[in-house]
Amino acid sequence: MNNSNSIDETANRRGFLKNIAASVVAAGALAPVTLSAKDDPALIEEPEWGKKLGFPVDATPYGQPSPYEHNVIRRVHKLLSSGDMYASVAMCPIQDLSGIITPNGLFFHRSHGGAAIVDPNEYRLVIHGLVEKPLVLTLEQLKRYPSESRIHFIECPANGSTEWRAPQFNTLQFMKGMMSSAEWTGVKLSTLLKDVGIKPEAKWVLAEGSDNSHMGRTLPVEKILDDAMVVWAQNGEALRPEQGYPVRLLVPGWEGNLNVKWLKRLEFGDKPWHAKEETSKYTMLTPSGKAIRFFWPMEVNSVITSPCPDKPWTDLKKGDIVEIEGLAWTGQGTVKGVDISFDGGKNWVEANLKGLVLPKSWTRFSYMYKWEGKPILLSSRAYDDAGFVQPTIDQEVKVMGVEAIYHRNAIVTWEVKANGEVNNVHIRS
């Protein structure tokens, strides 16, 4: 039915409704209702919630999603933990998300020793090492600095790590759910450090958290002064404990692990530290037997979110026009475009970007497609303004092998079957 407001149209619709009423026999509260097979009771009958009071405005001082959305939650898998649910990851249900912002309760949660509950009154940030004037700040003092807000994704470099050898998960949540996106608010480190004064011999910074794992990671001073921030807010409210309440480091576009949570210390030095997550883990072993030591940015990447194994096309009829929608992202700049293939990567067409297109951010893409009910192999391939293109599986494996664990960004392909079911497949030589 169209949305025309013309008088003729309205008159016709009135006539149409009259006819329905006649066949239904006065759909009043007390009158019996006779439905024809075609009539939808959801339209004819007054629903339960229209016949009673809803919940009062003071029932949920902190609002909750509809109980009907109880399946839209973070999920875990034993294989992705290091022994228990303290050093583990809870995956974000990206198949159920819209736009480019993740609600705080659904933001993926990776911790190395559980999520610390830090007392904000005892929070201190210490900046020391090769600086002119070491500094200690309370939370109140930190939040006095002028703030900026930026929308950035955070992605664990192990996102998609189960796919190196072969396809293993048939759900978007576990293929790509080790990432989420938020609007972060805090102070840019370039602003915070101006009075501290970094000494010229300082090349590196150790960022350290105050949680059980005392996570330490080394960053180059260049990044700290470029766009890194110390943030205290996420989507308008204080950081959640699992995102490092009260303060985390935000390193736009870089490995999630570098965005150190529960941040307590920044030490400047002339050499890199080689912390546990720069040696025993978060290093990428290649077929040469040697490992890439540091790999900071998350590379250009994309995935089609509709359809996907969780959101198939089983309800579509042949000839339906349907939107193919997806997420593209890059930590190395801004998404410039996305191509789509219907034949497993042999031929490609350009999709359209939509909504906000921001640096180091999730970007939505869209393509209108006529579904013919014939099997297709649906892939997306993003490229960015750094000049980099998402690789095929063969291209990436040729250089990286299958033991790198981290930084897998190869093209994802969905097998859409004639009945609309969707499966995760690999295109491999």
Partner 1 sequence: MFTLEVKKISKVVALTLFAVTTFVNAGDVKDVKGPSFKERAIDGSVEYKVKDNSYAGVYKVNPQVAKEKIKYGRTPSKTEIKAGDIDVRYDWQGLPDGKGSVAKGDELFEAKCAMCHGDMGSGGKGYPKLTGGDITTLKNQLVHPENGDEGPERSIGAYWPYASTLWWYIKTGMPFPHPMSLSNDDVYAIVAYLLSVEEIQIDGKDLDDDYVLDKKKLMKVVMPNVNGFYPDVNGKDGPMVMKKFLSDPKNYGTPTKRCMKDCPTAKVVHIKASLNDGITPPLSEKRDMPKEKKSAGGDNKFAKLYKAKCSACHGNDAIAPKVGKKDSWADRIKQGKDTLYKHALKGFKGMPAKGGNADLSDADVKGIVDYMIEQSK
Q: Fill in the amino acid letter for 264.
A: K
**Does 10 contact partner 1 by CB under 8 A?**
no
Beta-bridged to residue 335, according to DSSP, are 384
191 binds partner 1 (CB under 8 A): yes
Minimum gap (Å) between residue 429 Cβ and partner 1 = 4
Q: 208: which residues sit within 8 A by CB, 6+ positions away?
A: 214, 215, 216, 260, 263, 264, 265, 266, 267
> What is the residue whose two structure tokens read 């450090």?
193
- Contact pick of 162, 302, 305, 363 for partner 1 (by CB under 8 A): 162
Amino acid at 309: P
Beta carbon nearer to partner 1, 12 or 141: 141
Please, what is the minimum distance in Å from the beta carbon of residue 252 to partner 1? 9
- Please tell me whether residue 381 binds partner 1 under the rule CB under 8 A: yes
Burial of 191 (0-12, 13-18, 19+ CB in 10 A): middle
Residue 36 beta carbon to partner 1: minimum distance, rounded to whole angstroms: 27
Q: Is 109 in the site for partner 1 (CB under 8 A)?
A: no
CA gap 23, 11 in Å, rounded: 19
CB atoms within 10 A of CB 170: 14
Is 99 one of the binding residues for partner 1 (CB under 8 A)? no
User: String of b and e for 96-116 (b: at least 16 CB within 10 Å)?
Assistant: bbeebbbebebbbbbbbebbb
By CB under 8 A, how many residues form the interface with partner 1? Answer: 143
Q: Should residue 420 be labelled a site residue for partner 1 when binding is judged by CB under 8 A?
A: no
Phi then psi for residue 23, to 5 deg, are -75, -25
* Residue of 9, 237, 323, 403 that binds partner 1 (CB under 8 A): 403
Estimate to the nearest angstrom the gap between the alpha carbon of 35 and the chain centroid: 45
Out of 160, 297, 307, 326, name the contact with partner 1 by CB under 8 A: 297
Cα-flanking dihedrals φ and ψ of residue 240, to 5°? -75, 155
Distance of closest approach, residue 141 Cβ to partner 1, in angstroms = 4
- Smallest gap from residue 31 Cβ to partner 1 (A): 30
What H or E segment, with its residue span, contains residue 395? Answer: helix 393-400
Q: Which stretch binds partner 1 (CB under 8 A): 26-34, 37-45, 56-64, 407-415?
A: 407-415
Asked if 242 interacts with partner 1 (CB under 8 A), we say: no
Residue 303 dihedral angles phi and psi, to the nearest 5°: -155, 140
Please tell me whether residue 368 binds partner 1 under the rule CB under 8 A.
Answer: no
Chain centroid offset of residue 116 CA: 22
> How far is the C-alpha of 223 from the C-alpha of 260, rounded, in Å?
14
Interaction between residue 271 and partner 1 (CB under 8 A): yes
Minimum CB distance to partner 1, residue 266 (Å): 11
Give the span between the Cα atoms of 89 and 161, in whole angstroms: 13
* 401 is a site residue for partner 1 (CB under 8 A): yes
- Judged by CB under 8 A, does residue 203 bind partner 1? yes
**What is the C-alpha radius of gyration for the chain, rounded to an integer number of angstroms?**
26
| 294: contact with partner 1 by CB under 8 A | yes
**Other Cβ atoms within 10 Å of 374 Cβ, number:** 10
Q: What SS3 class is residue 73?
A: coil
Name the DSSP letter for residue 112. S
Give the C-alpha separation, 222 to 203, whole Å: 8
CB 76 within 8 A of CB 88: yes
Residues 250-269 that bind partner 1 (CB under 8 A): 253-254, 264-265, 267, 269
- For partner 1, the binding residue among 260, 335, 400, 416 (CB under 8 A) is 400
Give the binding range for partner 1 (CB under 8 A) out of 33-41, 52-60, 97-105, 281-289.
Answer: 281-289
Q: Is 316 in the site for partner 1 (CB under 8 A)?
A: no
The residues with which 404 forms a beta bridge, in sequence order, are: none
The answer to whether 186 contacts partner 1 (rule: CB under 8 A) is no
Closest to partner 1 by CB, 242 or 339: 339
- Complex with partner 1: residue 319 or 331, whichever CB lies closer: 331
333 is an interface residue for partner 1 by CB under 8 A:
yes
With binding defined as CB under 8 A, does residue 426 bind partner 1? yes
Residue 232 found at the interface with partner 1 (CB under 8 A)? no
Contact characters 39-68, partner 1, x per CB under 8 A? ----------------------------xx
- Closest CB to partner 1 among 20 and 287? 287
